[in-house]
């Protein structure tokens, strides 16, 4: 892939600490991800997926290698609010109501306030009616959905989702999958999605990267050439099986 607009990771590696107690979280890793696509990252717990995502977001400096998105480093991308991340623990501010938390995404990204658009996002993630609730009054899954709405509010070019549906029940998850995917496809957002659900990975993404146990290395790179919307099908099941096989190693 030679598209200069792609997300390119070249020899990216991360080691925590040094000396005998050092932990190699991410092995040197070369990946190119086409602009406007959705890529799922799957791998065993603790293998380094969050670390990789945090490095792409510029929150963590790689110990080796470089990252470019459309020719920009994570830091410049960050500075012009070109990326948004939904965190594993939602990271909602407890003193803000749901609406305030979603609006915060726009505010942090220095976009003009747009209450109507915020409300539309809240409806999209199925939280209509909860606009005036505080995070403490929401369930874990509701908080994660709020975090996704907040990430979308800034209208990012690069969307990083760290297990965004981890605490959402199966049915809501399927509904969200069905409704959110077209949204970021339509916006041309480049999306990286960390998930533990193989079926979700295959349903949502154009490509699944399977990582080894720590230190994270790409052990399988599986394209998902299926049309959307993706209903259960033999091809889907085959792809899921391929991902599972790669995960088993």
Least Å from the CB of residue 202 to ligand ATP: 18
Q: What six digits make up the tokens of 187?
A: 């916006």
The entry of Mg ion, ligand ATP, another protein, none near residue 179 (CB within 5 to 8 angstroms by kind) is: none
Enumerate residues 6+ apart whose C-beta is below 8 A from 215.
13, 24, 25, 26, 27, 47, 48
Q: Quote the CA–CA distance of 234 and 221 in Å, as a whole number.
A: 20
**Using the rule CB under 6 A, is 86 a contact of ligand ATP?**
no
Residue 121 burial (C-beta neighbours within 10 Å; 0-12, 13-18, 19+): buried
Contact residue for ligand ATP among 45, 94, 186, 231 (CB under 6 A): 45
Angle of helix 115-124 versus helix 98-108 axis, rounded to 10: 120
User: Which does residue 149 bind out of another protein, ligand ATP, Mg ion, none, counting CB within 5 to 8 angstroms by kind?
Assistant: none
Query: Site mask, Mg ion, residues 36-65, x = CB under 5 A?
Result: --------------x---------------
User: Judged by CB under 6 A, does residue 62 bind ligand ATP?
Assistant: no
191 in contact with Mg ion (CB under 5 A): no
Identify which of 184, 180, 160, 162 has the alpha carbon closest to the alpha carbon of residue 172. Answer: 180
Count of CB atoms situated within 10 Å of the CB of 182: 11
Site string for ligand ATP, 190-229 (x = CB under 6 A): ------------------------x---------------
**Residues interacting with Mg ion, by CB under 5 A?**
50
Q: Which residues bind ligand ATP (CB under 6 A)?
A: 16, 23, 25, 45-51, 214
């Amino acid at each position: 892939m030679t598209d200069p607009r792609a997300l390119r990771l070249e020899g990216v590696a991360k080691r925590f600490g040094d000396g005998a107690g050092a932990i190699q979280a991410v092995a040197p890793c070369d990946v190119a991800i086409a602009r406007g696509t959705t890529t799922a990252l799957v791998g065993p717990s603790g293998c380094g997926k969050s670390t990789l995502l945090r490095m792409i977001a510029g929150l963590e400096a790689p110990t080796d290698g470089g990252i470019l998105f459309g020719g920009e480093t994570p830091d410049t991308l960050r500075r012009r609010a070109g990326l948004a991340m939904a965190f594993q623990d939602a990271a909602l501010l407890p003193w803000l109501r749901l609406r305030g938390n979603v609006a915060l995404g726009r505010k942090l990204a220095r976009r003009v306030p747009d209450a109507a658009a915020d409300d539309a996002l809240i409806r999209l993630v199925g939280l209509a009616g909860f606009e005036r609730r505080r995070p403490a009054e929401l369930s874990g899954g509701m908080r994660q959905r709020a975090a996704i709405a907040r990430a979308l509010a800034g209208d990012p070019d690069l969307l990083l989702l760290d297990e965004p549906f981890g605490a959402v029940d199966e049915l809501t998850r399927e509904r969200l999958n069905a409704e959110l995917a077209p949204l970021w496809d339509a916006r041309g957002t480049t999306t990286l999605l960390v998930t533990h659900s193989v079926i979700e990975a295959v349903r949502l993404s154009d490509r699944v990267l399977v990582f080894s146990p720590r230190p994270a290395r790409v052990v399988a790179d599986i394209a998902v050439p299926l049309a959307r919307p993706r209903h259960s099908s033999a091809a889907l099941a085959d792809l899921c099986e391929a991902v599972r096989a790669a995960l088993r190693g």
